[in-house]
Structure 1
Amino acid sequence: MLTEPEHAVDGETRRALEALSTEYSWLVDHGYADRAADLFTDDAVLSTGGNVVSGIADIRQHLEKRARSSEIRSRHVLSNIRLLREGTGLVRGTTIMTIYRTVGESGRPQLAVGDVEDLYRLGDDGCWRIAQRKLVPTFLVEEI
C-alpha cells in the first residue's frame, strides 16, 4: 500500500510543499505569475488543460504572458493535499484545485475544479521545486 511508512512525508516536508503550492496560486492570482516560474526546476513540465510547456524558459514565457493579461482574474483554492515520497528528494502530490475566475469585461464568474498532479524535487540548495505540474480538469461551470 502506498501509504506505508516508506512513502510517508515528514511534517517539515509537507509544510514546505504546501507552502510551495500556495505561493504558486497566490502569485498567479495577484498578478505576479511571472515570478511563479522561480518555483519550478530547470527541466520542469507544466500542463494546464491542453497546453503543455516544457523547460524553465518556456514556462517563464508562459507565466509572463499570464501576468500581463488583464483579461483574467482568478482565485485558486487548494484542498485535499496528498503527498507520497517516491525516493530521495522526490515527492509525488495530488491536490484538488478549485478555481474561481472571470474572463474579459463581462466579468461573469466561472468555476473550475480539477486535480493537480505534481512531482516535487528537492534542489541542491535545500529548496523544493515543482518538476512536473499537470492540471486534470474534472468539471467547468461556465457561470456561477
Structure 2
Amino acid sequence: MTGAAQIAISGLDPRDRAAIEQLIQRHAWLIDHGKADRIGELFAEDAVLYGIGPDKIGRAAIAEWGRQRAALTERRSRHLQSNILIEPLSPETARGWVALTLYRHDGPGEGLAMPLLIAEYADHYRKAPDGAWLFAERRLSVLFGAA
C-alpha cells in the first residue's frame, strides 16, 4: 500500500495534528479577542473563505474582512468549537471538519447567553514551505440559526 491510502491509514504526525488544531483555535481566538485584523496570517496566499458574507478569495481579501471585523468594537463573540475531525490527504495537505456554536452580542453590556448559530466548518489545510499549517479553504455552513 502506498500513496494517499497509506497516509489515510497511518494518520497525521501528532505534531502536524496539533499544529492544525492550533490553527483552528487561533482563528476563533483572534476573532473573539478583537484581533481579527491578524486573521490573514492564518491563510495561504490563494486561500478562499466561504460562508461568512460574500466569498473572500485570496489572503488579501480575507485580511480585509478581518480588519473590518476587528473594527466592530461593540461586537463580542465566542466561538465554541468541537467535534474536530482531521484527515490527511498527503504529507502537506489535509482536510477537516469543525462543529461551531457561536455566541454573539452587539452593543454594551453582557448580552444573553443564547447561541446565535450552530454551524460546521469544512476546511482544507496546506503546509507552507516553512512548515506552518495554513487554511487553503474554509467553508462555513450554518446548520441551525437563532430562533
Asked if Structure 1 and Structure 2 have the same fold, meaning a TM-score greater than 0.5 normalized by the shorter chain, the answer is: yes
Instruction: Provide structure 1 residue ranges, at least 5 long, that are not aligned to the other structure.
Output: none
Cα distance, 1:6 vs structure 2 = 2.5
Q: Deviations over 1:36-70 (max 9, x none)?
A: 11010000101134421001111111110000112
What pairs with 1:67-86 in structure 2 (closer than 5 Å)? 67-86=70-89
Instruction: Provide structure 2 residue ranges, at least 5 long, that are not aligned to the other structure.
Output: none
Indicate which of 86, 98, 103 corresponds to 2:101: 98
Write the distance in 2 (CA, Å) between the matches of 1:48 and 1:109.
24
Indicate which of 12, 15, 18 corresponds to 1:12: 15
Indicate which of 126, 129, 135 corresponds to 2:134: 129
Write the distance in 2 (CA, Å) between the matches of 1:102 and 1:48.
20
Q: Which moved more, 1:85-94 or 1:41-50?
A: 41-50
Cα distance, 1:21 vs structure 2 = 0.8
Which structure has the highest strand share of the two? Answer: 1
Number of aligned positions between the proteins: 139
What pairs with 1:1-144 in structure 2 (closer than 5 Å)? 6-7=7-8, 8-104=11-107, 107-111=111-115, 112-142=117-147
Q: Deviations over 1:65-95 (max 9, x none)?
A: 0001124210011111101111230000101
Write the distance in 2 (CA, Å) between the matches of 1:36 and 1:60.
6
Task: Name the CA shift for 1:122/1:49 in 2 (closer, same or farther; >3 Å).
Answer: same
Alignment partner of 1:95: what SS? strand
How many percent of aligned residue pairs carry the same amino acid?
Answer: 36
Following superposition, which runs of at least 4 residues in structure 1 exceed 4 angstroms of deviation?
A: none
Q: Which amino acid aligns with 2:130?
A: D
Contact 1:49 1:137 in 2 (8 A): no
Contact 1:102 1:108 in 2 (8 A): yes
